Amino acid sequence: MSSDAIRHLRSVDPTLAALIDAIGPYAPPRRAPTFAALVSAIVAQQISTRAAEAITSRLQALLGGALTPEALLAASDEDLRAAGLSRAKAIAVRQLAARAVSGDLAIEHLHQMDDEAIVAHLSRSRGIGRWTAEMFLIFALGREDVLPVGDLGLRTAIRRLYGGEIDLTPTGLMTLGERWRPYRSIATWYLWQSLRLPLER
């Protein structure tokens, strides 16, 4: 990411400028844009980061160290549940694996698509909705202008930092986020990090 993004965010939003000073350099965790990253994104839905990492590690151990479509399809339902996957997530990762094996899941071509096309393509798989696709865009593909308006952490951070004058509906968040274009992913990351900071009294 260029320093242009930080300069832009500082210039358009004093609240975000103060947050950048408090947090420091932009340093999101990055995953390679792979099938395994999509599986990890499904695993992480609605659970803590620590729990998701533990389940992913058990799943990798179960599959011999690699989250490949073939290995997932070969594993039994009992094995997937023993690793910690819910029934719904086990079904979701199997369907994703079947799409990958059939060639319907075009992971190697995703970087050539625009954001909305990627969301549509990934969302054809059970268990992958808009939020999961947006997390893939941000953390695996490194897209810099994604604003996940359905994310609870983002809404919580905005409520804490901007107060009650901000409309927290998707439309309201999109309106707020217009000032951050074309670096809304970076603004979002800083807002997520703000949840680790104590509230000023």
164 and 75 fall within a common domain: no
What confidence tens digit (pLDDT) does each residue in 37-94 have?
999 889 988 888 889 999 999 999 988 888 899 999 999 999 999 999 999 999 999 9
What is the widest separation between alpha-carbon atoms in the chain? 56
Residue 12: its pLDDT value, please?
97
Count of positions (residues) in the chain: 201
Residue located via tokens 């060639």: 103
Question: Considering the entire predicted model, what is its pTM?
Answer: 0.87
43 and 106 fall within a common domain: yes
58 and 24 fall within a common domain: no
The C-alpha atoms of residue 186 and residue 72 are separated, in whole angstroms, by 33
Question: At which of 109, 139, 169 does a domain end?
Answer: 139
Split into its structural domains, the chain has a count of 2
At 18, which CATH number? 1.10.1670.40
The counts of H helices and E strands in the chain are 12, 0
133 and 52 fall within a common domain: yes
Question: At which of 108, 139, 170 does a domain end?
Answer: 139
85 and 39 fall within a common domain: yes
Residue 180: its pLDDT value, please?
98
21 and 72 fall within a common domain: no
The C-alpha atoms of residue 26 and residue 155 are separated, in whole angstroms, by 20
Residue 201: its pLDDT value, please?
44
123 and 67 fall within a common domain: yes
72 and 125 fall within a common domain: yes
In a domain, 200, yes or no: no
Tokens of 42: 């499904």
58 and 152 fall within a common domain: no
At 47, which CATH number? 1.10.340.30
Residue 197: its pLDDT value, please?
85
In a domain, 52, yes or no: yes
In a domain, 132, yes or no: yes
In a domain, 201, yes or no: no
114 and 190 fall within a common domain: no
The C-alpha atoms of residue 193 and residue 182 are separated, in whole angstroms, by 20
In a domain, 22, yes or no: yes
Q: Tens-digit pLDDT profile for the chain (201 aa)?
A: 568 999 999 999 999 999 999 999 999 888 888 899 999 889 988 888 889 999 999 999 988 888 899 999 999 999 999 999 999 999 999 999 999 999 999 888 999 999 999 999 999 998 899 999 999 999 999 999 999 999 999 999 999 999 877 888 999 999 999 999 999 999 999 999 999 888 654
Question: Is residue 13 a contact partner of residue 183, using CB atoms and an 8 Å limit?
Answer: no
Residue 28 belongs to what H/E stretch?
A: none
Tokens of 49: 């980061």
Residue 45: its pLDDT value, please?
86
Residue 153: its pLDDT value, please?
92
Q: For residue 178, give its domain range.
A: 3-28+147-194
